[in-house]
Amino acid sequence: MKNIPTKEDLIGYIKGDKKTIGWTIGSFILLFMLLTGYSIYSTFTELHEEDDQFLSQEEMVEILEREPEQVTAGDVRNIEEALEQERYAFGILIEREDQTFYNYPALIREFLISEEVVSYVEESIGEPILPSPELAVEVSEDSSTRIQEIIIGTGDVEDNQAIAAAYYEAIQQEGLISPLDDKIIYMMDNEPFLVEEETWMDLVLVQIQYVSPVRAVIGLIVFTILGFVAGTVIVLLKTLFKKEIPFMYELKEKDSDTVLYFTQIRNDDEDDRHHKLAHAILTYPERKKLVLSEGEINIELRESLSLKNHNTELIHIADDVSNRPINMQPDEVVILVEKNKTTKSWYNNQRIQLERIDAPVTILTY
């Protein structure tokens, strides 16, 4: 039967190749991080399309010229997304003569898209406002500061800058916006500025915030365990396929074979282990024994055999069956298998040669 490894055997083999297990665990953790990063990146790309996917001004005008029933909700959403790209803005603060705030963003927007003001702006930039002044001009208010922000978005960054600059001058033109003539207007910015958009890192950080810390920790633990299991399997496979005899190798070939696993003797004392190994070799002292060992037999083991055996002529030690005396017919063959040193090819060669010898075989693995 196969040698079923003990817990100590498994721990010993794992410790012996802990680098492989460590690298495997590290690879699985890296895989987890890559998968998490890919998930964040894929979500980011879904939320933030490339600039060349936005509608152009001409495409927006074409949609606006359709019949209302021909305009879909998707068309409206695409126009809104295009208008929000690379907008320019500036802030103003408006006070009445009694120093109260004049904060009516919707009304100020109506002033800015009036025919007189739009004509002034279009004459300043030398072209019409596309797709339309109503869509291009937006006014919002900061409720804490009462500052009105004029925002220009047309889907074209150069037009946005030029139109915002023209509106910046128009607001300061006396008599152009008559309702504001008796008001005090403070320009809060030296010139229109490009509205700061969310950067790639901003969106990534937002996505990271949506990653549940609990799920992340559980995922990390699961991948670490998978890495440990995979590393252990790799170590076991390396052990099984290497040329030396591993601890789960089938040693018994005949029913008459006796296999003793001295690797499972839980004793750290080398002298005591050699004593027990020598005792097992010398069992049935009246028998003529052929002891086979691929490597040089340990000095301590040789000394133990000498001390216990008074009739040395009954024991012949060889590194191959063919190296025994030609006239020797052993009563028992003892094969010594040293863990991680004795090779499979040597062991199999001995078993082939022993087919011609009619003697019981005892295998001692240590």
E-strand ranges in 96-216 read 137-141, 148-152, 184-187, 193-194
Sign of CA dihedral 61, 67, 72, 73: positive
**Which region holds residue 19: left if phi is over 0, alpha if psi is between -120 and 50, else beta?**
alpha
Predicted local distance difference test score (pLDDT) of residue 209? 55
Predicted local distance difference test score (pLDDT) of residue 3? 47
**H/E segment holding residue 38:** helix 18-47
Query: What pTM was estimated for this model as a whole?
Result: 0.46
Supply the CATH classification number for the domain 258-365.
3.40.1010
pLDDT digits (tens, 9 = 90+) for 319-355: 999 999 888 889 999 999 987 789 999 999 999 999 9
How many CB atoms are closer than 10 A to CB 342? 22
Residues 79, 66: Cα–Cα separation, whole Å:
14
Structure tokens at 204: 């990534």
pLDDT digits (tens, 9 = 90+) for 66-88: 998 898 988 888 898 889 889 99
Residue 4: pLDDT over 70: no
Residues 29, 230: Cα–Cα separation, whole Å:
12
Question: Taking the CA atoms of the chain, what radius of gyration do you get in angstroms?
Answer: 44
Closest CA to 340 of 4, 2, 9: 9
pLDDT digits (tens, 9 = 90+) for 214-248: 777 888 888 899 988 888 788 777 767 778 887 66
Q: What residues pair up with 139 in beta bridges, in sequence order?
A: 150
Cβ–Cβ < 8 Å for 361, 256: yes
